Amino acid sequence: MKKQFAVIGLGRFGGSICKSLSEQGMEVLAIDTDEEKVNNFSTIVTHAVVADGTDENALKSLGVRNFDHVIVAIGDNIQASILTTLILEEFGVSHITVKAQNDYHEKVLNKIGAHKVVHPERDMGIRIAHNIVSKNVLDYLELSKDYSIVELIAGEKICNKTLIDLNIRAKYGVNIMAVKRGDDINVSPHGTEKILQGDILIVIGAIVDINKLENALF
């Protein structure tokens, strides 16, 4: 059976979630207080409805409690975001993801039972900053405050060397999860694999260790 998602708030964040879920063939109920926004999504999602996320009865009559996953993407109105999350938690919705505006908002959302709190502006800021600092860092994903995954472009320092030659795991304590070359991706690369200039190494490890690796070899 198709998974059912509800997205409350159709700004840039909620809107792009709706589009992407629909493109992946999911059933999506899109909710916003703004009629124009709802109309814009009526041809994209399964159902688009004008409703207020803080209106418990409205959410009840839309059957939101039965959805597999509800995403609260209400932007600046922190009060409405918190109240909506609280209602969903009281409904017993099994997966509630909420966009936080700031650290205080995030703290409250975690306390009142949001299962996942996302902070897209902050996270994108961190990723872009890493890319600006080092042109060899293509992407950066923080797994926790200590660990991350990065995509690094192989330059002159490491090209034409094998993973055994580079001995990255022993020297820096990080793991190369995969090597991308054009459209090919080699997950679990062998030690005898030779790195070519422009290959993209996907590395997982402690942030301090990854920084050492970046400084030494990229």
Residues that bind ligand ADP in the complex, under the rule CB under 6 A = 8-14, 31-34, 37, 52-54, 73-77, 80
Which residue has the CB atom at the shortest distance from ligand ADP?
Answer: 75
Three-state DSSP state, 143: coil
Q: How far is the CB of 88 from ligand ADP (least distance, A)?
A: 12
Three-state DSSP state, 182: coil
Looking at the Cβ atoms of 17 and 166, the one nearer to ligand ADP is 17
Q: Are 107 and 124 in contact (CB under 8 A)?
A: no
Q: How far is the CB of 96 from ligand ADP (least distance, A)?
A: 15
Structure tokens at 174: 């990080």
Q: How far is the CB of 132 from ligand ADP (least distance, A)?
A: 22
Looking at the Cβ atoms of 76 and 156, the one nearer to ligand ADP is 76
Q: How far is the CB of 20 from ligand ADP (least distance, A)?
A: 14
Looking at the Cβ atoms of 98 and 152, the one nearer to ligand ADP is 98
Looking at the Cβ atoms of 35 and 146, the one nearer to ligand ADP is 35
Tell me the C-alpha distance between 82 and 143, whole Å: 25
Three-state DSSP state, 134: coil
DSSP H helices, the chain, are 12-23, 35-41, 56-61, 78-91, 103-111, 120-133, 163-166, 168-172, 207-217
Q: How far is the CB of 121 from ligand ADP (least distance, A)?
A: 8
How many C-beta atoms surround the C-beta of residue 36 within 10 A?
9
Element containing residue 137 per DSSP (H, E): strand 137-142
Structure tokens at 130: 């890493």
Looking at the Cβ atoms of 99 and 154, the one nearer to ligand ADP is 99
Find the angle CA(11)-CA(12)-CA(13) to the nearest 5 degrees. Answer: 95
Q: How far is the CB of 50 from ligand ADP (least distance, A)?
A: 9
Looking at the Cβ atoms of 118 and 176, the one nearer to ligand ADP is 118
